[in-house]
Amino acid sequence: MPELSTVWFLLLGFLFAGYAVLDGFDLGAGILHLFVARTDLERRQVLNSIGPVWDGNEVWLITAGGALFAAFPIVYATVFSSFYLAMMLVLAALILRGISIEYRGKEAATWWRSAWDVGFSVGSALVALLLGVALGNLLTGVPLDAGGVYRGGLIGLLNPFSLLVGVLTLALAAQQGASWLVLKTEGDLAERALKAQTAAQLVVLAAWLAATGFAFAGSLPAVDNFKSNAAAWIGPLLVANAIFFGFRATLMGQQFRAFICSSLTIVFLAITAAAALYPNLVPAVERARSLTVDNAHSSELTMQVMLVVAVLGMPIVIGYTSFIYWKFKGKVRLGEASY
């Protein structure tokens, strides 16, 4: 039983990391939308750089949520009931950015398009920030009561460490989005995206070092596994390498390598977070109340059946996703059907 629940822990990590990488660049494109694109034509190019894939990228988040419900229903119930307002804000931000993309081109009026441009950027930034705040709270430990419920409200989630992790995820999304825009656009827009990429890389490095230092200085639960298990340090070492080679690729004008390094930075940070959390899924301030892979999983039969479904379904999802990205490769070219 523990072995199967650990497999599901790893599978959830894969799904959330996949979402962070794929939706990361279109969230990042939204975050940078108002800053790197200065004309209506340039803003249309930003939208069309993610147009064929952005809604498919969000399927990874839905899939991860479904997997969480199937494998760890107690965790699903605790997270969605305890953090209800925060989750609704994330959902509202996702809806805002989605309708902003779709409605922007329905009218030609400048005020109309500018309003939806703001909605696109604000919605994208909120999603990246709030998901980081959620991760930060998991790493610090949640004050669950005896019934496994968090009653601190939204304000209680905005502690210094979680906000710092939120800044890190915001910068990661901006870095990923800038790297994508450099690949997909040309001219002045690509040049501004390149400058934004360099700035985001610096913020990612600073925020990562600050969050790591904060965690160790405060002896947060997130560092416990690193103190007791040397293998946990593989993640941070990989992160450092990905950041270094990302800087190098950017300076050398190797655009695709810079995007790959940005993606790997996200993946390696996800590995680091998983190493910090395991075996916890929702660590509690009072350790005995933590939800772990051992005490929060569903029945063995459910995990076995769903694992078969995942093994059969994931290659299809990966294959379909790969085909879409191959189909729409290359620089953005605007046409009649474009946003």
Calpha distance 189→211 (Å, rounded): 32
pLDDT in tens, the chain (339 residues): 458 999 999 999 999 999 999 999 999 999 999 999 999 999 999 999 998 899 889 889 999 999 999 999 999 988 888 888 888 999 999 999 999 999 999 999 999 999 999 999 999 999 999 999 999 999 998 888 887 788 887 888 889 999 999 999 999 999 999 999 999 999 999 999 999 999 999 999 999 999 999 999 988 888 899 988 889 999 999 999 999 999 999 999 999 999 999 999 999 999 999 999 999 999 988 888 899 999 999 999 999 999 999 999 889 888 988 998 998 888 988 877 677
Calpha distance 324→56 (Å, rounded): 9
- Domains belonging to the chain, first-starting first, are 2-327 (1.20.1630.10)
Calpha distance 222→219 (Å, rounded): 8
Contact residues for 23 (Cβ-Cβ < 8 A; gap 6+): 54, 57, 58, 60, 61
Calpha distance 11→163 (Å, rounded): 27
Contact residues for 271 (Cβ-Cβ < 8 A; gap 6+): 13, 17, 234, 235, 238
> The pTM is what?
0.94
CA angle 65, 54, 306 (to 5 degrees): 25
What per-residue confidence (pLDDT) applies to 336?
72
Whether 171 and 32 have beta carbons less than 8 Å apart is answered as no
Query: 162 pairs with which residues across the strands?
Result: none
Phi first, then psi: give them for residue 108, nearest 5 degrees: -95, -10
Cβ neighbours, 10 Å, residue 89: 16
What per-residue confidence (pLDDT) applies to 154?
82
Residue whose entry in the numeric block shows the structure tokens 């680091």: 272
Cα–Cα separations (whole angstroms), residue 207 to 12, 40, 313: 25, 33, 36
Calpha distance 157→48 (Å, rounded): 35
